[in-house]
């Protein structure tokens, strides 16, 4: 093999050297063969050379792969080194190939018009060759799933030749991103179940793709390149624009992108219907999603809401969504933001236990409330949200009087009802149902806004499955059986229910798992009577005086916190020999069950780790005392117990943080 590779890499033009590079079928421009110094790519697989014999006008290349063997017979037209005919020894049809000087847009002549609509969990393979990669470079595949709160990150090993292979979990048609950080290479990819996508990035970072859906991906990539050239409205400027002004900017961008897509489609010989349909839907959902980003810059303290015309345009865009709903990602984000906007009309939202219990009693026919009483309950909860919002914004007396007027009478009547003897007796009997019924009510509130849209029932069901699966990921603990029964009511498609049921099973198994190094956990019982934040902080760090403490304020509800946490096990392993470094984790506003399950899942315990799950009172005291206003927040404490750094490297900084902490121990 080494001799053959040496010949192939060094022979002059006219010999084996003429074959080096990527070759495409002239019939459809699809990349089908590649011959590199030490291996070849054929039939979407990596092969090594067994024997090479090439003359001026013909030759053979024998390839092997494990127990597989195949011989390619080559014919060269006179005077055309960039053209050849290959005939497989197995008797397959001959193919006329042309050497590719740059990636070409292939012709997708026999692809189906429709996309796979399955929701079954499966896998796809991404493999490739990056010859300019360097040792220890960061190379990752990021997979976005509407059924997972966290983006999946897969970092495959690149071998000594620059090749990699990764098995990627997919749910139907799935959106992925291939990142090669050192060279700024970012490759979007659409993955299909049971498919293999092969890529080659040349020295100029041009991307060649091979596989059953390579043509679709190549065309989508080129289309996205054209569409991304259209300048997007600056989201940060949206706070200075009225909703209708922002809408006009977003619609104008959508129009320009459609023009760019039309120009692209007319500029290639045989545009793929699949790729054009995907790009067209992406443009629409991207516009809807961008419009909805304005909801985060509305003047909440002035109770600003979208005008009817804005919502009408938004609804008309979302109604254009078509399967497969698993892509594009803009659709998932738009639906979540749309539902959040409608479900939380107040700056501060609250769910009252008494109202939750009343809803449970009425809907389960345990106790019947009159229509007026039900209306009072609804207004009482809304009034509480309004009062909390006014308190948060320090509203003046006149504003309080005006804003609270519609709610006061209903709040008073519902208060009398829930404080009555009959309701108290019911509460004592059914109090254990409040937590479970709150989960159901919150899910129903999140799903209710979709009833305002004229979208297919399948999309509503898809979003319900996405919400349930992501809620399981968010709380990191299994649902009560009543919520799984509710999920069964919502999800009529077996594959969608199976997605939620599998996540439920995973968290049930996680809950039953034994926590490693339980000595890492610290109880807050001895600290609960401390009312002075300085003393509370001193007591927490007191056992570790004389050591360097890396303190992490985080929460199980905080996605950036958990993303950083994923890098901690590797960091602690690299610092295992540093006995003078302590990792102090202070969880805030985190349910005990979710906290414990997350520690089990991420293996965050160990000899150097100390974990506290702070009570709400402790969280409030410490975050104010230490000026913690965002999560995650990291602090470095020196050997004397003083804060040495309020902005140290983060766990994702990896080696940089490890070297930084080592340097602290030497001071």
User: Could you report the per-residue pLDDT of 580-637, keeping only the tens digit for each?
Assistant: 999 999 999 999 999 999 999 888 899 999 999 999 999 999 999 999 989 999 999 9
pLDDT for the residue numbered 509: 96
Write phi, then psi, for 229 (nearest 5 degrees). Answer: -75, -15
Matching residue, tokens 């956990």: 521
Confidence of residue 127 (pLDDT cuts 50, 70, 90): very high
Answer yes or no: is pLDDT of 8 > 50: no
What would the mean pLDDT of 322-348 be, rounded to a whole number? 92
Strands 581-587 and 643-645, how do they pair?
unpaired
Strands 581-587 and 548-554, how do they pair?
parallel
pLDDT for the residue numbered 149: 85
* Whether the Cβ atoms of residue 139 and residue 179 lie closer than 8 Å to each other: yes
Within 319-433, residue ranges assigned H as helices are: 329-343, 353-363, 371-392, 397-404, 408-418, 421-430
pLDDT for the residue numbered 598: 92
pLDDT for the residue numbered 111: 67
Answer yes or no: is pLDDT of 133 > 80: no
pLDDT for the residue numbered 1: 39
Give the span between the Cα atoms of 202 and 409, in whole angstroms.
Answer: 72
Answer yes or no: is pLDDT of 208 > 70: yes
Answer yes or no: is pLDDT of 54 > 90: no
Most confident of 57-61, 300-304, 328-332, 457-461: 457-461
What would the mean pLDDT of 274-291 be, rounded to a whole number? 95
Long-range Cβ contact pairs of 262-266 (< 8 A, separation 24 or more): 263/226, 264/222, 264/223, 264/226
* β strands within 477-555, DSSP E: 548-554
Looking at the domain covering 518-666, what would its CATH class be?
Answer: alpha beta
What would the mean pLDDT of 465-479 be, rounded to a whole number? 94
pLDDT for the residue numbered 12: 38
Answer yes or no: is pLDDT of 388 > 90: yes
Give the span between the Cα atoms of 621 and 666, in whole angstroms.
Answer: 32
Give whole-number Cα distances, 429 to 104, 356, 366, 414, 447, in Å.
71, 14, 11, 20, 30
Give the span between the Cα atoms of 372 and 162, in whole angstroms.
Answer: 71
pLDDT for the residue numbered 506: 95
Answer yes or no: is pLDDT of 519 > 80: yes
User: Could you report the per-residue pLDDT of 524-562, keeping only the tens digit for each?
Assistant: 998 988 999 999 999 999 999 999 999 999 999 888 898
Tokens for 429?
Answer: 């009997």
Give the span between the Cα atoms of 494 and 474, in whole angstroms.
Answer: 23
- For residue 485, the tally of other CB atoms under 10 A from its CB is 11
pLDDT for the residue numbered 134: 59
Give the span between the Cα atoms of 299 and 421, in whole angstroms.
Answer: 43
Average pLDDT, the chain: 90
* Whether the Cβ atoms of residue 232 and residue 70 lie closer than 8 Å to each other: no
pLDDT for the residue numbered 11: 43
DSSP structure class, residue 655: H
Conformation bin of residue 365: beta by default, left when phi > 0, alpha when psi is -120 to 50: left
| 3-state SS, residue 53 | strand
Answer yes or no: is pLDDT of 269 > 90: no
pLDDT for the residue numbered 576: 87
Answer yes or no: is pLDDT of 16 > 60: no
Percent of the chain surpassing pLDDT 90:
71
| 3-state SS, residue 611 | strand
What would the mean pLDDT of 392-419 be, rounded to a whole number? 95
| 3-state SS, residue 634 | strand
Tokens for 210?
Answer: 């091979």
Tokens for 576?
Answer: 């295992």
Give the span between the Cα atoms of 334 and 237, in whole angstroms.
Answer: 19
Query: What counts of helices (H) and strands (E) characterise the chain?
Result: 21, 21
Q: What is the DSSP string of 539-554?
A: HHHGGGTTSEEEEEEE
What would the mean pLDDT of 303-326 be, rounded to a whole number? 94
Confidence of residue 427 (pLDDT cuts 50, 70, 90): very high
pLDDT for the residue numbered 118: 81
Percent of the chain surpassing pLDDT 70:
95
> Which stretch of 184-188, 514-518, 580-584, 615-619 has the lowest confidence by average pLDDT?
184-188
Confidence of residue 408 (pLDDT cuts 50, 70, 90): very high
Higher pLDDT: 573 or 610? It is 610
User: Could you report the per-residue pLDDT of 78-88, keeping only the tens digit for each?
Assistant: 888 889 999 87
Q: Give me the residue spans of the domains in the chain.
A: 2-99, 121-228, 235-343, 345-452, 518-666
Residues 305, 310, 312: CA angle, nearest 5 degrees: 115
pLDDT for the residue numbered 549: 95
User: Could you report the per-residue pLDDT of 430-446, keeping only the tens digit for each?
Assistant: 999 999 999 999 999 99
Nearest Cα residue to 23 out of 82, 94, 65: 82
Confidence of residue 92 (pLDDT cuts 50, 70, 90): confident
* β strands within 130-263, DSSP E: 139-144, 152-154, 163-171, 174-180, 185-191, 196-201, 207-210
Nearest Cα residue to 183 out of 161, 155, 202, 158: 202
Nearest Cα residue to 95 out of 23, 40, 44: 23
Torsion of CA 387, 390, 391, 394, to 10 degrees: -160
pLDDT for the residue numbered 10: 30
Hey, which residues does 96 pair with through a beta bridge? 85
* The CATH number fitting domain 121-228, selected from 3.40.1350, 2.60.40, 2.20.200, 1.10.3470: 2.60.40
Higher pLDDT: 130 or 318? It is 318
| 3-state SS, residue 351 | coil
Question: Does an H or E element contain 46, and which?
Answer: strand 45-54
Give the span between the Cα atoms of 591 and 187, in whole angstroms.
Answer: 38
Nearest Cα residue to 274 out of 224, 320, 213: 213
Confidence of residue 3 (pLDDT cuts 50, 70, 90): very low
Give the span between the Cα atoms of 130 and 404, in whole angstroms.
Answer: 64
């Amino acid at each position: 093999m080494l001799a053959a590779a040496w010949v192939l890499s060094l022979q002059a033009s006219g010999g084996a050297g003429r074959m080096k590079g990527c070759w495409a079928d002239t019939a459809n421009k699809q990349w089908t063969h590649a011959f590199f110094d030490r291996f070849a790519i054929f039939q979407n697989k990596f092969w090594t050379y067994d024997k090479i014999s090439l003359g001026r006008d013909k030759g053979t290349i024998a390839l092997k792969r494990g127990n597989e063997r195949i011989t390619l017979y080559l014919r060269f037209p006179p005077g055309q080194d960039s053209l050849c005919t290959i005939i497989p020894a197995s008797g397959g049809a001959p193919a006329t190939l042309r050497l590719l000087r740059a990636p070409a847009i292939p012709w997708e002549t026999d692809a189906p018009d429709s996309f796979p609509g399955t929701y079954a969990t499966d896998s796809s393979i991404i493999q490739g060759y990056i010859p300019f990669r360097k040792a220890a470079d960061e190379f990752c595949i990021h997979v976005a799933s509407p059924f997972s709160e966290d983006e999946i990150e897969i970092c495959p090993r690149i071998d000594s030749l620059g090749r990699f292979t990764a098995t990627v979990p997919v749910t139907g048609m799935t959106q992925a991103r291939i990142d090669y950080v050192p060279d700024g290479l970012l490759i979007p990819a659409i993955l299909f179940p049971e498919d293999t996508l092969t890529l080659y990035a040349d020295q100029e970072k041009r991307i060649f793709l091979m596989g059953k859906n390579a043509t679709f991906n190549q065309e989508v990539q080129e289309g996205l390149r054209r569409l991304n050239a259209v300048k997007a409205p600056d989201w940060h400027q949206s706070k200075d624009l009225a909703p209708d002004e922002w809408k006009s900017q977003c619609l104008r961008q959508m129009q320009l992108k459609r023009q760019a897509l039309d120009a692209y489609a007319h500029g290639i010989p045989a545009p793929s219907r699949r790729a054009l349909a995907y790009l067209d839907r992406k443009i629409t959902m991207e516009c809807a999603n961008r419009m909805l980003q304005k909801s985060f810059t509305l003047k909440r303290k002035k109770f600003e809401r979208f005008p009817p015309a804005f919502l009408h345009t938004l609804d008309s865009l979302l109604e254009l969504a078509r399967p497969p709903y698993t892509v594009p990602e803009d659709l998932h984000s738009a639906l979540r933001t749309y539902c959040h906007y409608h479900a939380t009309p107040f700056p501060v939202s609250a769910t009252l236990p008494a109202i939750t219990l009343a809803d449970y009693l009425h809907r389960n026919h345990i106790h019947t409330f009159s229509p007026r009483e039900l209306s009072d309950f609804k207004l009482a909860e809304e009034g509480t949200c309004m009062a909390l919002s006014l308190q948060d914004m320090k509203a003046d007396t006149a504003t309080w009087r005006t804003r609270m007027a519609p709610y006061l009478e209903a709040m008073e009547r519902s208060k009398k009802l829930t404080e009555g003897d009959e309701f108290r007796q019911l509460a004592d009997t059914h109090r254990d149902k409040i937590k479970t019924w709150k989960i159901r009510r919150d899910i129903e509130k999140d799903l209710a806004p979709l009833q305002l849209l004229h979208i297919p029932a399948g999309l509503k069901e898809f979003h319900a499955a996405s919400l349930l699966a992501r809620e399981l990921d968010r709380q990191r603990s299994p649902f009560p059986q009543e919520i799984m029964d509710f999920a069964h009511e919502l999800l009529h498609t077996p594959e969608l229910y199976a997605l939620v049921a599998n996540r439920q099973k995973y968290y049930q198994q996680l809950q039953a798992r034994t926590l490693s190094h339980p000595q890492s956990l610290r109880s807050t019982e001895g600290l609960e009577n401390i009312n002075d934040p300085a003393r509370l902080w001193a007591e927490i760090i007191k056992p570790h005086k004389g050591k360097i403490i890396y303190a992490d304020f985080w929460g199980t509800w905080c996605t950036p916190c958990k993303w950083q946490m994923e890098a901690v096990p590797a960091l602690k392993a690299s610092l295992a020999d540093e006995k003078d470094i302590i990792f102090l984790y202070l969880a805030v506003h985190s349910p005990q069950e979710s906290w414990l399950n997350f520690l089990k899942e991420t293996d965050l315990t160990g000899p150097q780790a100390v974990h506290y799950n702070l009570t709400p009172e402790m969280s409030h005291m410490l975050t104010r005392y230490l000026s913690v206003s965002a999560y995650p927040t990291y602090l470095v404490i020196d050997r004397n117990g003083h804060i040495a750094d309020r902005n140290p490297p983060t766990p994702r900084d990896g080696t940089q943080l490890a070297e930084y902490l080592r340097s602290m121990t030497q001071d």
